[in-house]
Amino acid sequence: MNTKSLFTPLAVLLLISGMVCVGIAGAQEGEARIIRDISFDGLLRISDAAARAQLETQVGAAYDAGAVARDIKRLMDLGFFDAVDAKVEEAGGEIILTYAVVEKRLIDQILIVGNRKIKSRVIRAALTMREGGSFEPEMFENERQAVLDLYKGKGFANTTVDVTAENIGPSRVRLVYTIGEGKKARIKSITFVGNDHMKTKRLRKVMKTKQARWFFSSRYDEDKFAADLTNITDAYGELGFLEAKVASTDMEYSNNGKRIDITMYLEEGPQYSMNSLDIARNIVYDDEDLLDVVKVHPGDVHNKVQVSKDVAAIQQGYQDSGYIDAVVTPQITLDRENKTTNVVYHVEEGNLKYLREIKITGNDITKDEVIRRQMLLIPGERYDGAAVTESENRIQNTRFFDKVRITFDETDDELFTDLRVNVEEGKTGVFNFGAGYSTEDRLGVYTEMRLSNFDLFNWPRFSGAGQVLRLRTQIGERRNEYSISFTEPEFLGYPVSFGVDLFDESYEVRGAARYKEEIRGGQLRLGKSLSPYVFAQSIWRFQETDLSQFSRWVHPEIRKQEGRSTTIANRWQIERNTLDSNFDPTRGSVHVLAAEIAGFGGDHNFLRFEQDSTWYRALGEKEKIVLSLRARHGIMTTYGSSDYIPLQERFYAGGTTTVRGYRNRDIGPKVREYRWWGDHFAVGGDTRFVYNAEVKYRVTDIFRLYGFADAGAVWADAGDIDFGDFNYSVGAGVGFNVPMFGPIRVDYGYPLNPNKNQSSSGRLHMSTGFRF
């Protein structure tokens, strides 16, 4: 066959076919279709104009598939749509283009319900989906697990979480997280691994997280446990293990999620001692002066906690001396080969500062001068950090404010600083009340109102001047008392306090004697601060007493008191008070010496001398235990024409304020009501010694436990003093300092050596107060 003859017709055929195709394509290109209309399908939340602005394709232009593809990409890039598709329809030779979109649903609101142990903002922070963000159903399980992990980390292993989505509008949903918290897991055990140099007992003691014991359950608290990790490393640091750390912790939950076994893996590292200690860049004070302050020296174990305290002590010393910008920075170099440290305290002393101005803020009620008179610094003086701290304590002790904070304000002059005293007004009214029954007074109630930031001339608020107004009423079957007291701390603008007291009391004495005692009168007080800790006061007292309704056969010692008498006396006393707090002291002391002379007119002439001292000292590093000791001594004598001291002026002991566990006035001289027969009646004495020892344990900021021992004796005359006459008691009590309510204390005292004329059973003592 001739192949050449076959190839020639085939080539001609292919050439003709190609020319036909090109002709057809050219004909189609020449007949391009025009876009007649462009529309969107599925827009709910996004406006038509916003979507159309992204299009390259336009009405009237030739249809271009590449342009349509680019339009779809731009629409998706907006982030508003889950899907975008283009539908092309031909009508009458023209193109109708429709972009079909599926909008993303947005989260309009996230609700969290059922959470009480963890705040909503903390839960929201653990979530990935946010309000205003896109709704992604596939994230449900991840979100749910994030909340469960958050609760499990805080000890709630039984928590349940349900997540639901509610459609609330076009492409908008509301997410609802419904939480069932359950109870915190109980800590079954805490185990330490790797503690070769510290006993497990010591480690558990420094931890606030405790394992459950007996009837006391301990629940896991994440914040408390995080603090425990620091407490453990600090405990090791005190022993010189500066690189000790908690490498890891394992928490194994029981099957029901109600119990946790905690295992802590420790890496102790080597123990370091201090090799050298230097102080650098100090000019004002010599090295010797500063080294006298520190407690960790070369050769000692490097106590990390004490070194930090040493740094703070040096810095505080500078600031107390007026160098308020002083900064002490420790540089600690570890010599791992020799297991020693080389320490340098770098001192930046700054300039000596003087006080330019004291600014007071936050006192919406209290006048500025009430706060200023508590300040121990005045403008122009050298800054004194110790005086600032004491001033803050003095302001706090007024109890006018819930919060007191003193800070620095920078000035244009580098040699001066301003002090800003910021206070938060508190409730300064106290309402005390009580009710009780005793064999002496029978049923009775009392109320007392004390306004400690009173202002007599500020109508209608009557507050803000630091004055004190006290009203007291006691009404009972046998005892009635009415009194009013007013104190102005700065009389007529002078640094002298002035006070006035008025009282009216009546008491129907029953038991060992039967008579009625009525006392009414008043007193004027003038006082002056001699120093920040010493206060002197003079008191003039006028008192009228009427003793009546005596039985005809009553004992002569009692009968001679019958009738109306007047006492006019002047009392001088001086007080030194160094307590850190007048209301819940932990350290310091208060001492009172007083002398009183009666006889400036009236019917009685006598001299009275009294001493009252109380000491407080906190025990232990955390100062939860406070020991207090109190000693009171008093002696009286007549002079001039008087041959006896009236009953109401004599010393007595027994009861809430002296020797607990004994009845009121149950300790001291007594006489029979009818000389040879009848009950024994307390007539008091001219000499009294009372001693009290008390231990207070602060369980929490609100709750206190007390244990006490009291001793006291009263003698008719100083020449009768015999220490074998003392009566003793012991007891325990509980106290609550309830915010917005005030102190509540209940004591039970038990007499140790009552005589035959004293009650041998224990007694309950209670007091309470309400702040407003």
Give me the pLDDT at residue 756, please: 83
Stretch 145-170: mean pLDDT, rounded?
Answer: 81
* Element at 739 (helix H, strand E): none
Give me the pLDDT at residue 239, please: 95
CA–chain centroid gap for 693, Å, is 28
* Neighbouring residues of 11: CB distance < 8 A, sequence distance ≥ 6: none
Q: Is the Cβ–Cβ distance between 712 and 659 less than 8 Å?
A: yes
User: Is 50 exceeded by the pLDDT of residue 17?
Assistant: no
Give me the pLDDT at residue 283, please: 92
- CB count within 10 Å of CB 533 equals 15
| Integer Cα distance of 772 and 451 in angstroms | 9
User: Is 50 exceeded by the pLDDT of residue 10?
Assistant: no
Q: What is the DSSP letter of 347?
A: E
Angle, helix 385-397 to helix 304-320, in steps of 10 degrees: 90
357-388 pLDDT per residue, tens: 999 999 999 999 999 999 999 999 999 988 99
- pLDDT-derived band at 711, boundaries 50, 70, 90: very high
| The two structure tokens encoding residue 269 | 């590292």
Q: Which of 470, 562, 571 is nearest to 518 (CA)?
A: 562
- CB count within 10 Å of CB 332 equals 15
Burial class (CB in 10 A: 0-12, 13-18, 19+), 366: buried
Of the CA atoms within 13 Å of residue 538, those in its CB half-sphere come to 5
Give me the pLDDT at residue 435, please: 61
User: Is 70 exceeded by the pLDDT of residue 511?
Assistant: no
Sign of CA dihedral 544, 550, 556, 558: negative
Average pLDDT along the chain: 85
461-493 pLDDT per residue, tens: 889 999 999 999 988 877 889 999 999 999 988
Cis peptide before 489 (omega within 30 of 0): no
Q: Is the Cβ–Cβ distance between 345 and 289 less than 8 Å?
A: no
Stretch 597-610: mean pLDDT, rounded?
Answer: 94
- CB count within 10 Å of CB 337 equals 6
| Integer Cα distance of 609 and 220 in angstroms | 59
Q: Is the Cβ–Cβ distance between 303 and 240 less than 8 Å?
A: yes
Phi/psi of residue 26, nearest 5 degrees: -65, -35
Strands (E), 114-258: 160-169, 172-180, 186-193, 245-253
> Of residues 35 and 214, which shows the higher confidence score?
35
| Among the ranges given (194-208, 434-448, 494-508, 558-572), the one the predictor scored with the smallest mean pLDDT | 434-448
Give me the pLDDT at residue 525, please: 96
| Integer Cα distance of 102 and 84 in angstroms | 7
Q: Which of 509, 444, 440, 430 is nearest to 473 (CA)?
A: 444
* Amino acid identity for residue 285 in this structure: Y
Of the CA atoms within 13 Å of residue 228, those in its CB half-sphere come to 19
- pLDDT-derived band at 147, boundaries 50, 70, 90: confident
> DSSP 3-state assignment of 647?
helix
Sign of CA dihedral 293, 297, 303, 308: positive
Strands (E), 620-672: 625-638, 670-672
Number of H helices, E strands in the chain: 12, 34
Give me the pLDDT at residue 1, please: 41
| Integer Cα distance of 763 and 750 in angstroms | 7
Pairing outcome for strands 35-41 and 94-103? parallel
* Neighbouring residues of 642: CB distance < 8 A, sequence distance ≥ 6: 599, 603, 604, 605, 606
Q: What is the radius of gyration, based on Cα positions, of the chain? A: 43
Q: Is the Cβ–Cβ distance between 271 and 339 less than 8 Å?
A: yes
* Neighbouring residues of 619: CB distance < 8 A, sequence distance ≥ 6: 625, 626, 627
DSSP string of 6-54, one letter each residue: HHHHHHHHHHHHHHHHHHHHHHHHHTPPBEEEEEEES-SSS-HHHHHTT
pTM value is: 0.66
Q: Which of 109, 56, 58, 54 is nearest to 80 (CA)?
A: 54
Angle, helix 304-320 to helix 222-238, in steps of 10 degrees: 90
- pLDDT-derived band at 175, boundaries 50, 70, 90: confident
- What length does the chain have? 772
CA–chain centroid gap for 225, Å, is 20
Bridge partner list, 470: 450, 485
Q: Is the Cβ–Cβ distance between 665 and 682 less than 8 Å?
A: yes
- Alpha-carbon distances, residue 396 vs 187, 391, 528, 562, 769 (angstroms): 40, 9, 20, 48, 19
| The two structure tokens encoding residue 96 | 């109708």
| The two structure tokens encoding residue 664 | 């009121």
Give me the pLDDT at residue 338, please: 95
